[in-house]
Amino acid sequence: MKTRLTELIGTEYPVIQGGMAWVAEYHLAAAVANAGGLGLIGAASAPPEVVREQIREAKKLTDKPFGVNIMLMNPNSDEVAKIVIEEGVKVVTTGAGNPGRFMDAWKEAGVKVIPVVASVAMAKMMERAGADAVVAEGTEAGGHIGESTTMTLVPQVVDAVSIPVIAAGGIADGRGFAAAFMLGAEGVQMGTRFVIAKESIVHENYKQKLIKAKDIDSEVTGRKNGHPVRQIRNQLTREYLKLEENGASLEEMEKLTLGSLRKAVIDGDVKNGTVMAGQIAGLLKKEETCREIIEDVVNGGMRLLEKGWK
């Protein structure tokens, strides 16, 4: 299946795996790459040398292209930006900020740059700065989010830029894939569905929490402090929202969430840890391989697109 995105990044399918903190490590990235999608290593807040090691491990598991996601709120992002060039990474995606200051160095090194954006203004700015494509991520997504829904954001970004647009937020099956293409996207990015992939190293408790989740089980914390994060409701979100309601200090809130994503992903503490997931978690049914996931999404989507509205 060829789109401008597959041409750009050299994958078989127009499917990108989200660069999820703690979750998107090299086993998952390589499995997605081997299944024909673009796997990503999520640098998140990992020490830069750990990111380098992750890239080298992924290379041992796949000869297909894969990328690195750089979370721009991380103070280490300058160093990680250099490492991706040194290690010959083919694609970089960015989140939670403006990657403008790295753009020239990446372009000069031949790295394809795909910023994740949550607004039309940011998409236009990224195109002007030389981005090769953008991921337009709606507020249905898990983790750090913007305000607009995927349904409204994607067509407005498509109309505003001429580079390829990849839709993200709320997509986990063939119906979401087809809908994204109907909105003008030329690819999709999925996070939540890959969290429960067989190759994902996420703790079984976390996977089961997502499989059991219903449509309304996610909650957004941090709206008041400017860092809204979507996650599955639990003891931690209840405590957090209570503190937020009572006007607690940033320090108090940070005490609660420090290391909380690791607690859920690695230790399996889904009560006191942060269980980031998108609103589509309610659709998830079972653990499958990355190949099964990608084939289900692409084949299901293509069947719908060929069938039309009937």
Residue 52 or 144: which CB sits closer to ligand TUI?
144
Beta carbon of residue 287, minimum distance to ligand TUI (angstroms, whole number): 22
One-character DSSP codes across 104-133 = HHHHHTT-EEEEEESSHHHHHHHHHTT-S-
Residue 34 or 93: which CB sits closer to ligand TUI?
93
Cα 14 to Cα 36: distance, rounded to the nearest angstrom = 9
Beta carbon of residue 13, minimum distance to ligand TUI (angstroms, whole number): 21
Q: How many other C-beta atoms lie within 10 A of the C-beta of residue 56? A: 11
Beta carbon of residue 269, minimum distance to ligand TUI (angstroms, whole number): 16
Residue 44 or 304: which CB sits closer to ligand TUI?
44
- Nearest-CB residue to ligand TUI? 143
284 CB-side CA count, 13 A: 29
Residue 161: C-alpha distances to residues 3, 171, 173 (Å): 16, 22, 26
Beta carbon of residue 274, minimum distance to ligand TUI (angstroms, whole number): 7
Residue 265 or 304: which CB sits closer to ligand TUI?
265
Residue 154 or 304: which CB sits closer to ligand TUI?
154
Residue ranges in contact with ligand TUI by CB under 6 A: 21, 44, 71, 95-98, 116-118, 122, 137, 143-146, 227, 229
Beta carbon of residue 88, minimum distance to ligand TUI (angstroms, whole number): 24
Residue 34 or 76: which CB sits closer to ligand TUI?
76
Beta carbon of residue 69, minimum distance to ligand TUI (angstroms, whole number): 8
Beta carbon of residue 2, minimum distance to ligand TUI (angstroms, whole number): 26
Residue 34 or 189: which CB sits closer to ligand TUI?
189
Q: By C-alpha distance, which of 12, 43, 13 is closest to 26?
A: 43
Give start and end residues of each alpha helix (H) in the chain: 4-9, 26-34, 48-61, 77-86, 100-108, 120-128, 150-160, 174-182, 192-195, 204-212, 235-245, 250-257, 260-265, 290-307
Beta carbon of residue 115, minimum distance to ligand TUI (angstroms, whole number): 7
Rg from Cα positions in the chain: 18
Residue 7 or 104: which CB sits closer to ligand TUI?
104
One-character DSSP codes across 258-298 = TTHHHHHHTT--TTTS--B--GGGGG----B-HHHHHHHHH
Cα 100 to Cα 81: distance, rounded to the nearest angstrom = 12
**Residue 221 is inside which H or E element, if any?**
strand 218-221
Work out the end-to-end distance of the chain between its first and last CA atoms, rounded to an integer number of angstroms: 23
